[in-house]
């Protein structure tokens, strides 16, 4: 990453426009662990670009995350679909974790859809269930707008998160699927899973879901003025709330089983978000 992460995102967006042949994209989707097959349900890609060709993207090193982005026409929108993401626990700084989101906004995206695999904390949530994120607890100890202030021309770093997960977009999602649950997502740095005591703490703090991504990306997108929609796929019941052991292979398997239906849900939501 360059010393100026905003300049790096602008450069990546310019490479994206050149390689896809698209001057602008209107929305972006970041797919979570095991969600990559959902991209096929969104339609035929007009271009698929390795992230290594865009500059500024660290190579994803976690199973279930593909280092590529697709350009897809969905209804009236030109949509970027990131087939994976990088995480803090891989040793990357916050600026690298949010580089994809900043690139998407620089490419013209006014709507950012963030998906993830999550553990279910609230009673009644079940594996395979999609849940709209209504709010978040950023417990990573980091912020993408910390450090030097943004350059001239960018919003101040003191970002208002009152409507972090846009009510307008959540209303569109509920129209597409009236049965969608909503919940508060807690982001921890990982990569280890939480202890039962930590899950009890999170539940007492108001968390319904827990994971290791999304929160920093949401803050970065909102800082740049984009609307954010978050959807978690419950892939397991959180630690101490069931007798099932937790492992990444199980998370990926749950994500892959639900990927096609998640893609169909996104395909119904996305044409309405503009």
What domains can be seen in the chain, in order of their start residue? Answer: 5-272 (3.40.50.1580)
- Rounded to an integer, the average pLDDT of 222-232 is 98
87 among known catalytic residues: yes
90 among known catalytic residues: yes
52 among known catalytic residues: no
- Per residue in 48-98, pLDDT (tens digit) is 999 999 999 987 666 656 889 999 999 889 999 999 899 999 999 999 999
pLDDT for the residue numbered 1: 46
* DSSP SS3 for 128: coil
212 among known catalytic residues: yes
% residues pLDDT > 70 (the chain): 95
Active-site entry in 40, 41, 248, 268: 248
Choice between 237 and 33, residue whose per-residue pLDDT is larger: 237
Active-site entry in 25, 36, 65, 71: 65
- Per residue in 139-188, pLDDT (tens digit) is 999 999 999 999 999 999 999 999 999 999 999 999 999 999 999 999 99
185 among known catalytic residues: no
d(CA 105, CA 9): 9
92 among known catalytic residues: no
Cβ-based neighbours of 178, under 8 Å, separated by 6 or more: none
265 token code pair: 């849900």
For the chain, give the longest Cα–Cα distance.
53
192 among known catalytic residues: no
Active-site entry in 90, 182, 198, 268: 90
24 among known catalytic residues: no
Active-site entry in 45, 166, 212, 259: 212
């Amino acid at each position: 990453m360059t010393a100026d992460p905003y300049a790096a995102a602008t450069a990546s967006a310019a490479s994206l426009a050149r390689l896809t042949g698209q001057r602008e994209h209107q929305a972006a989707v970041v797919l979570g662990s095991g969600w990559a097959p959902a991209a096929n349900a969104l339609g035929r890609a007009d271009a698929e670009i390795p992230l290594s060709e865009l500059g500024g993207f660290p190579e994803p090193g976690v199973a279930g995350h593909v280092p590529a982005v697709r350009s897809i026409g969905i209804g009236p929108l030109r949509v970027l679909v990131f087939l994976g993401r990088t995480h803090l626990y891989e040793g990357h700084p916050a600026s690298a974790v949010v580089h994809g989101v900043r690139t998407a906004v620089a490419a013209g995206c006014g709507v950012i859809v963030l998906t993830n695999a999550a553990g279910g904390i609230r009673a009644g949530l079940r594996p395979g269930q999609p849940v709209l994120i209504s709010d978040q607890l950023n417990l990573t100890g980091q912020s993408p707008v910390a450090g030097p202030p943004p350059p001239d021309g960018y919003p101040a770093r003191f970002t208002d998160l009152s409507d972090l997960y846009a009510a307008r977009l959540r209303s569109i999602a509920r129209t597409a699927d009236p049965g969608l649950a909503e919940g508060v997502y807690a982001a921890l740095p990982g990569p280890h899973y939480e202890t039962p005591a930590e899950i009890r703490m999170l539940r007492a703090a108001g968390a319904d879901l827990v994971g290791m991504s999304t929160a920093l990306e949401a803050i970065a997108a909102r800082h740049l003025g984009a609307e954010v929609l978050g959807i978690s796929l419950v892939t397991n019941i959180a630690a101490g709330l069931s007798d099932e052991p937790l492992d990444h292979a199980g998370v990926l398997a749950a994500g892959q089983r639900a990927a096609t239906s998640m893609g169909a849900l996104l395909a119904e939501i996305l044409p309405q978000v503009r």
